[in-house]
Amino acid sequence: MDDHVPKKEKKRRLEEVLNKQKEHSHEYDAQFVGNTVKVLVEGEARKDNKVYGKNEYRKTVEFDGTKAMIGEMRKVKLESENTGRLVNTD
């Protein structure tokens, strides 16, 4: 089967889908901001003195912590969302 869709159009369509997904993710994540959630700490984040884990909705949460917290459940108040990640900046 021949491909009749120009490469430029394919790129435009992909960008449209990715933008919609980003918009949807932002709206979904925004509902958690301001709430306190339980997080299972999974590891150290790239930033100093930060750890990350997943909440009960399988969303990644990043917050202040140490390597000693890995494997623990922690209550975290979510203050913002950023590119698919929920963040606590305390």
**45-87 pLDDT tens trace:** 987 889 999 999 899 999 999 999 999 999 999 888 776 566 6
**Burial (CB count within 10 angstroms: exposed 0-12, middle 13-18, buried 19+), residue 52:** buried
pTM more than 0.85: no
The rounded distance, in Å, linking the Cα atoms of 45 and 54 is 12
Answer whether 52's CB lies under 8 Å from 67's CB.
no
